[in-house]
Amino acid sequence: MQETSDYLQFVLAPQMFTGLTMGVAVVLAALGLTIIFGLLDVINMAHGAFYAVGAYLALALERVGFGYIVLLPLVVLVMAAFGYLLQYGLIQHVLTRGRDRHVTTLMLTLGLAMVIEDANRAIFGVETLRPANPIPGSAAIFGMVLPNYRLFLISAGILIVAAVMVVIYRTRFGAMVRAAAFDRQMAASLGVPVKRIYGLTFALGVALTGLAGALLAPVYSIFPTMGHDFLVMAFIVVIVGGLGSVTGAVAAGFLLTQVQALASLVVSPVWGSPIILAVMVFVLIMRPGGLFGRLGHV
């Protein structure tokens, strides 16, 4: 009995906590990805690159002198602006290509990802960097020792996820986003400023994933290819949750990161990624639409 309780307290729970830390960030990024697809029909292969940019940006702002917690909103704003400009200046131009749109935007964002990755390399160098832990120390909760920063990360992350869901489902902006996702022309004829909504939505998506990068940077460090595996994870979550589904991204995000965290207790961590990928392939075969419905269509 003692052994089970010990196992729970010292092995399982901390692992779940780690999974939750990752989960919050993954959910933020997946939300961005799924909203971008749900509304704009864009497969954003540069989503991982934006994640890295968010992390690098946070580091740069810290070097300039901002306090880490203070700079987070700044990162959000800068990433949002960046996203808005990208949508208007670049993505917009291939959005009208008809039925090839998915493939074209996929390839365009793929190229963009390459450019951003190397740009990060050029500006910040190839070595792994790490911002200082903004909230050092740890707290004892339920007999577990949990790092303070991670506690902050999880609480802040969950708050933001909740805020995004409120925005999507309870505000006028969110209603316009969902209307435009459901039927672009109808929404436009009803007075919804579709182009601006597109820009704002892309901005939101980019901001969310950039924030995820900034939040996780002190935990997992920053390096030029950090976006790769994260992008894969975000895509898996979005696929399993349903491309375009907000609830799906949240549910699948927390679920899959827990699966990955707990799986590493049983098998070597290197198999974590193939396992999750296999889950994705399996879900795609069984329910191609993912586990939940699509933005605007549910």
Partner 1 sequence: MSDPITLSMRSSHLFVASALFAALLFALVAWTLGDRFYLRLATEALLFSGLSLSVGILFGYTGLLPLGQALFFGFGAYASALALRHNPSFWAAIFVVFIATLALGIACWLIAGRMRGVYFALVSFGLAEIVSKAVYNIRWLGASDGLRGIPIVDIPLGFLSISTDAPLAFFLFALVFVGFLYSVSAYVLDTPLGRGLMAMKSNERRMRFLGYPVFAARLVAYVLAAEIAALAGALYPMLRGFVSPDLMYFSVSTEAIIGVVLGGATMLAGPLYGAVILTVLRSIIASLTQYHLLVTGLIFMIAVIFLPRGIIGIAQRSGGGGLD
Q: Return residues touching partner 1 (CB under 8 A).
A: 43, 90, 93-94, 102-104, 106-108, 110-115, 117-119, 121-122, 228, 232, 235-236, 239, 243, 268, 270-271, 273-274, 277-278, 280-281, 284-285, 288
Taking the C-alpha atoms of residue 227 and residue 207, their distance in angstroms, rounded to an integer, is: 15
**Contact predicate 293/246, CB 8 Å:** no
In the complex with partner 1, which residue's Cβ is closer, 16 or 277?
277
Beta bridge partners of 138: 147
DSSP secondary structure letter of residue 129: B
201 membership: H or E segment, kind and range: helix 194-220
In the complex with partner 1, which residue's Cβ is closer, 46 or 72?
46
Least Å distance, CB 18 to partner 1, is 21
Least Å distance, CB 173 to partner 1, is 26
Taking the C-alpha atoms of residue 1 and residue 64, their distance in angstroms, rounded to an integer, is: 53
Taking the C-alpha atoms of residue 233 and residue 230, their distance in angstroms, rounded to an integer, is: 5
Least Å distance, CB 90 to partner 1, is 8
Least Å distance, CB 47 to partner 1, is 13
Least Å distance, CB 14 to partner 1, is 25
In the complex with partner 1, which residue's Cβ is closer, 37 or 149?
37
Tokens of 229: 């595996």
Least Å distance, CB 103 to partner 1, is 5
In the complex with partner 1, which residue's Cβ is closer, 121 or 184?
121
**Contact predicate 131/70, CB 8 Å:** no
* Dihedral sign computed on CA atoms, order 126, 132, 133, 134: negative
In the complex with partner 1, which residue's Cβ is closer, 62 or 117?
117
In the complex with partner 1, which residue's Cβ is closer, 200 or 240?
240
Kindly provide the residue ranges of all beta strands, DSSP E only, lying in 90-237, ordered along the sequence.
138-141, 144-147
Residue whose C-alpha is closest to residue 294's, from 36, 26, 27: 36
